[in-house]
Structure 1
């Protein structure tokens, strides 16, 4: 097992188990560090609880007693636990540092890390970069917010192997020394304000991806996002812009027919199979990061001429009687749904709804011009039904869940319609994850035939 190279703490509280907490606790224990684990939802007889106790950890489950902070020097916090948590608030008052498992992963990796963050497009861009490197015969693994625990993957890296990390704002809030050799900052829009409270806090969390970078590092950023252009001025790394609107002599850019890196043509746009203007931004960002990492033009082209999207992100599912079904369950905010809707010129039946975070959804109205019908579900169903009526959507139907929504959408559809699940909401009112919601959509589509 790889050792932590620069970890100065000897008594650690791992707050929250799940996959990342369990992995962090095991890593710390293997490095002979005293570990206390606290999880309010775990049960005494759970496999992870039993295993960690067997390795020497103190494990407290079922509540968050303040005494778990006694003698603690640092907290490794599950990214999903809010900072309003009583233990977290008390730790802040006591001046106890709070990090996430990503900080530990950074200490395990000798080779350069490629880190990707942004409000939207992270998973697609992460997947593209990994694939471009792999097709260029560059050894690479992927981890982070994409589903693979970073510390687990980092321990398996061989010499020369790169680590591509998808990084959420929740993860980035908990770093001290972590830095990617290549940071990719895609975009920043209002999101997760229930967690961060203000847009400024959210932006600052995203900006930490480059806070520890130095002159030998690279920062790939979206020149078309004015908030990013201003933010990256304080970065010490080499700035590599990407744009879908203007030529970039020192970055990646597009014209009407082709995509370029600096002055080198990479691929004809008509050869790319991934749909959507937002995906064009993801592609250009991916090319910049991949080229900086040593990817070949041939490897990049092979990916872009075959890659049709990641699961749950504008994923083509099936065509049934000339109706085309797309699963965009990862669209957990309005911006993502706006981008999905701009990807189609044909009539759309939109399936939307989920956790109510207080949004009024009026920003969706300009994007509903091609939407001939909406099937709404979840806590926000009434809000979205009212929105659809205000926008002049011809048909709006309420459904109890995604499966019924698919059946209803199919029943009101016609040939050449797109039936699109793009909820504009988190899934947690009815489903544990957006993946579970997307899988229900896929299953429901396949049962139509």
Structure 2
């Protein structure tokens, strides 16, 4: 991809803006970064000398012509600026597409509604355990285009990729692709499930021949895509025995390929717990195996791996009440999976900024299972109406209050689960901030309990 002498526009700073701008500038492009935030903060300080920046508006970006436009994931694809640039003949792409074009590397690309970060991190651990030189990047952490190792060594790229990033790909063709699941999410941006699914499918659309696509055969949204795949399919399932793929038989995780079967170990011995994490584990085995990791290394990494923060993460047990942080549970499907398998009385801290989801499946499961509910955030009114006369439903003013009410409702032997099924931006900076506030509230409860014992 020749960039010397070209004019490039980067829209949005965020986590990908500065790395994209700096990489473009290093390759000889004239770069302008535009961000309608008046105070872009630390991100602006990371721009290389010579990169121009416009903040507070897109006036300059609108007025000038550009050969290439690179879009940060948070910028809607149909924003007036992007529509204008496309109409003016500029090529508009995502940061993932830029990284893919700039240097030829084998990509192991992972998408899905839920489980992406855990699966991506676990694949990275399996590749490392196997001695495969790889870089973990994308939506999980650093932008791929900012990872110097990708441009300096023949590494394998293990990338978590969101639907927002897939909006801007045109030539992206990973060596291994994976769709973990497809359930309603981000419909405030994508509008329909059909559009959301169409974007997810971009991860495998250009794959052919010996490329590999990993699909979840237990998930209705993902499994029905098998007929569209034009490369080698290597699926996974917790319930179905597979001739080719990864599955569980009598509690044992198995990899089956070319009439050979490798035993990974007993699923119950994993440090990752719950059905959702079992699916993530099987997916990671399938992806890492397809990406060249050896089976012994895959098994060793699998049974050493700990849950990531804010993803069904045990925080503490206080006076017999377990507290679990699943702040990353930002949609209905994720929260349903977090609830699956919990024993005893459960109090669910639910709510936040709604993303135009249908909460009916979650409400039905809660009523059927007798889960207690503590409502927080902007969506509490909507959710309160949905639960109608169902009891117990409590409303909380902030996280401290939610944790206290949750503990009271769960009781000894029960569990307080933070899995809000909503975005966090109404009350918190992001899901990490929400999870940390939950952890802080739990630790306050723990200190109070210890002080009470001392008295």
Same fold by TM (over 0.5)?
yes
Q: Is 2:402 aligned against 1:408?
A: no
Within 5 Å, which residues of 2 pair with 1:232-311?
232-262=226-256, 263-311=261-309
Deviation at 1:404, TM superposition (A): 2.3
The structure-2 alpha-carbon separation of the partners of 1:415 and 1:157, relative to structure 1 and needing over 3 Å to count, comes to farther
Q: Is 2:121 aligned against 1:127?
A: yes
Aligned to 2:377: 378
Q: 2:425 aligns with which of 421, 428, 445?
A: 428
* SS at structure 1 position matched to 2:272: coil
Within 5 Å, which residues of 2 pair with 1:200-239?
200-239=194-233
TM-score (norm. length: structure 1):
0.91
Alpha-carbon distance in 2 for matches of 1:210, 1:180: 7
The structure-2 alpha-carbon separation of the partners of 1:114 and 1:360, relative to structure 1 and needing over 3 Å to count, comes to closer
Deviation at 1:51, TM superposition (A): 5.8
The structure-2 alpha-carbon separation of the partners of 1:320 and 1:9, relative to structure 1 and needing over 3 Å to count, comes to farther
Q: Unpaired segments of 5 or more residues in structure 2?
A: 447-455
Within 5 Å, which residues of 2 pair with 1:87-126?
87-126=81-120
The answer to whether the 8 A contact 2:20-2:145 is kept is: yes
The answer to whether the 8 A contact 2:3-2:24 is kept is: no
TM-score (norm. length: structure 2):
0.90
Q: Could you list the per-position Cα deviations for residues 372-398 of structure 1 after superposition, in whole angstroms to 9, with x for gaps in the alignment? A: 4211110111222333454x33x2221
* SS at structure 1 position matched to 2:53: strand
Deviation at 1:187, TM superposition (A): 1.4
Within 5 Å, which residues of 2 pair with 1:349-388?
349-359=347-357, 361-368=359-366, 369-388=368-387
How many residues are treated as equivalent by the alignment? 441
Q: Is 2:6 aligned against 1:10?
A: yes
Q: Is 2:136 aligned against 1:138?
A: no
Q: CA RMSD in A?
A: 2.3
Q: Is 2:335 aligned against 1:337?
A: yes
The structure-2 alpha-carbon separation of the partners of 1:108 and 1:230, relative to structure 1 and needing over 3 Å to count, comes to same
Alpha-carbon distance in 2 for matches of 1:246, 1:277: 15
Q: Could you list the per-position Cα deviations for residues 110-155 of structure 1 after superposition, in whole angstroms to 9, with x for gaps in the alignment? A: 4311110011111111111111222223232211111222212254
Aligned to 2:76: 82
Q: Unpaired segments of 5 or more residues in structure 1?
A: none
Aligned to 2:156: 162
Q: Could you list the per-position Cα deviations for residues 227-261 of structure 1 after superposition, in whole angstroms to 9, with x for gaps in the alignment? A: 44443434332211212221111111112321111
Aligned to 2:450: none
Aligned to 1:21: 17
The answer to whether the 8 A contact 2:149-2:155 is kept is: no
Aligned to 2:29: 33
Alpha-carbon distance in 2 for matches of 1:443, 1:324: 15
The structure-2 alpha-carbon separation of the partners of 1:357 and 1:234, relative to structure 1 and needing over 3 Å to count, comes to closer
Deviation at 1:428, TM superposition (A): 1.1
Deviation at 1:158, TM superposition (A): 5.4
* SS at structure 1 position matched to 2:235: strand
Farther-moved stretch of structure 1 (346-355 vs 250-259): 250-259
Farther-moved stretch of structure 1 (335-344 vs 249-258): 249-258
Alpha-carbon distance in 1 for matches of 2:231, 2:38: 42
